[in-house]
Amino acid sequence: MSTEVTVANKLFDEIQIGDRAFMDRVCTEHDLYVFASITGNLNPLHVPDGPNVIDGEGNGGAVAPAMWFGALVANVLGTSLPGPGTLYRAQSFNFHERVRVGDEVRVSVEVIDKREPRLVILETRVVKTSGEVVADGFAEVYAPARKVSGARMETHGITLRKHRHSERLIAACKGLAPLVTAVICPEEPVALEGALRAHAAGLIEPVLIGSRLRVDAAAAMLGADLSAFARIDTATDFEAAATAVRLAREGKVAALMKGHLHTDVMLAEVVRRDGGLRSGRRISHVFVMDTPGLDYPLFISDAAINIAPDLAAKADITQNAIDLARACGVAVPKVGILSAVETVNPAIPSTMDAAILSKMAERGQIVGGIVDGPLAMDNAVNLEAARAKGIRSLVAGHAQVLIVPNMESGNMLAKELTFIASALASGLVLGAAVPIILTSRADSAQSRLMSCALAQLYSHWVKTGVSAFDAPIERVAVPDHGGAA
């Protein structure tokens, strides 16, 4: 039986006085965001997460713009009565009630007059399902000039560049103690601003380590006052990194944050055998991608540190990523081990590694998540692709964590999502004695803020075995390498 939706219009001679058409619509946050984006009307009264502005009637909270109703009326006129080919001449409205997110309305039109040539007069009404009249008025339209019928034209959905997952994760940090964090070489404005914003958000308590002269110059450019922060003056990047690692080893800071220095300089001190922050597990980086249109944050590892990891390194990379996902409230992360294909092929080493990692998880050598592979990218994240390939798996089509074969593939994947799919990228280095916030010069202020939130969530999980979200998680093999002072 066909479910195809068809439309047909009415010509002037076919329209009768008393003809009616209607549609029902629930007002959603998405409606308000899209309407604001298309029209440019950023009146905070109409934006769900805007400032809590009180309207002229003394009420707070977002309300649907009046012209949102107008667009719904135009929808009924243009698709139902008279239908495709209809052109407006005039529209009047009187507005009586406000509509908020979650309210359902019925939009109706009724023909009350016809005038040559092809002019149709309709009464228009918008009424809540509870009975209150929201708006009423009259429309004058020209009926279509020729007959049209057929399948309703489908349009592509609109994806908003809204990063709701990062907002949720940052909000989960409220109530947690700020993480004492060594900020290494915050010697240029972007690096310093990220730390100051994270402090203002209650995520970190920064200890600024670097050249006092250059840090002060950066603060002057931002107009920032640093008098309230602990500071350590160092002459070189190497000294700043070594000082931060020493403070972490002594339990005086609970996290490190990269500023304006090369990653290699910082990590050389972290992995130093004598006096570093080794924990017995391979360090790795985990990207957390907040991708508009995706219902969950995507964890990708390793795309920044391990260039061509062997099997043992991949096992640690997988465990680190699972740990971070659990710290972010994913009770049992679904982990897809990626390769070019979803079948084991000895000619493609990454498929062999993926199969072994899956078996290691079955045998309890990797814990806390469901691991499956090899999976290609399409069938890891798209259920229809997985079904088309005949893959039966608890992970395929639902992967929340993606383990890539090597750094190049992971780096390309993360940057494609960032610069093509408008994802917000944040990340954390795990496997050392403390979490390391590894920022990039290209990171936005929101990305830096999110990375600090990840460090706070992870540190809380390591210390308590419970995520910062409402529901506690089962304590399974919580590592002892990320504790904070």
CATH number of residue 222's parent domain: 3.40.718.10
- Same domain? For 53 and 178 the reply is no
User: Given this model, what pLDDT does residue 414 score?
Assistant: 94
- Give the number of other CB atoms < 10 A from CB of residue 321: 27
Tens-binned pLDDT, residue by residue, of the chain (485 aa): 444 567 889 999 999 999 999 999 999 887 888 888 888 888 888 877 655 555 555 555 688 999 998 999 999 999 999 999 999 999 999 999 999 888 999 999 999 999 988 999 999 999 999 999 999 999 999 999 999 887 766 665 666 656 778 888 988 998 899 999 999 999 999 899 999 999 999 999 999 999 999 999 999 999 999 999 999 999 999 999 999 999 999 999 999 999 999 999 999 999 998 889 999 899 999 999 999 878 899 999 999 999 999 999 999 999 999 999 999 999 999 999 999 999 999 999 999 999 999 999 999 999 999 999 999 999 999 999 999 999 989 999 999 999 999 999 999 999 999 888 888 899 999 999 999 999 877 777 788 899 999 999 999 999 998 888 854 433 333 333 333 32
CATH of the domain at 84: 3.10.129.10
Please check whether residue 352 lies inside any domain of the structure.
no
Say yes or no: 252 and 144 in one domain: no
Same domain, 279 and 428: yes
pLDDT for 372: 97
Give me the sheet containing 284-290, strands edge to edge: 230-233, 204-210, 179-184, 255-258, 436-437, 424-430, 284-290, 298-301, 401-403, 334-338, 370-375
Which is nearest to 297 in space by CA: 393, 205, 458, 424? Answer: 424
Residues 105 and 188 both lie in one domain: no
- For residue 190, give its domain range: 164-333+400-464
List the strands of the sheet with 87-95, edge to edge. Answer: 20-26, 104-115, 119-128, 133-142, 87-95
Token readout for 480 is 């002892």
Residues 257 and 404 in one domain: yes
Specify if 159 maps to a domain: no
* Residue 267, domain member (yes or no): yes
Q: Is residue 176 part of a domain?
A: yes
Whose structure tokens read 């062997």? 310
Domain assignment present for 266: yes
178 and 142 in one domain?
no
Domain annotation covers residue 469: no
In a domain, residue 170? The reply is yes
Whether residues 139 and 176 fall in one domain: no
Does residue 269 sit within a domain? yes
Total count of domains within the chain: 2
Residues 185 and 133 in one domain: no
Q: What is the rounded distance in angstroms from the CA atom of residue 108 to the CA atom of residue 235?
A: 73
Together in a domain, 273 and 313:
yes
Tell me, yes or no, whether 143 and 173 share the same domain.
no
Same domain, 291 and 433: yes
Counting beta carbons within 10 angstroms of the beta carbon of residue 254, is it exposed (0 to 12), middle (13 to 18) or buried (19 or more)? buried
State residue 384 phi and psi, 5-degree precision: -65, -40
Q: How far apart are CA 300 and CA 403, in angstroms?
A: 6
Q: Are residues 59 and 172 in the same domain?
A: no
**Model pTM above 0.75:** no
Helices (H) and strands (E) in the chain, counts: 13, 18
Residue 413 corresponds to which tokens in the numbers above? 């994947």
Q: Which residues have C-beta within 8 Å of that of residue 154, sequence separation ≥ 6?
A: none
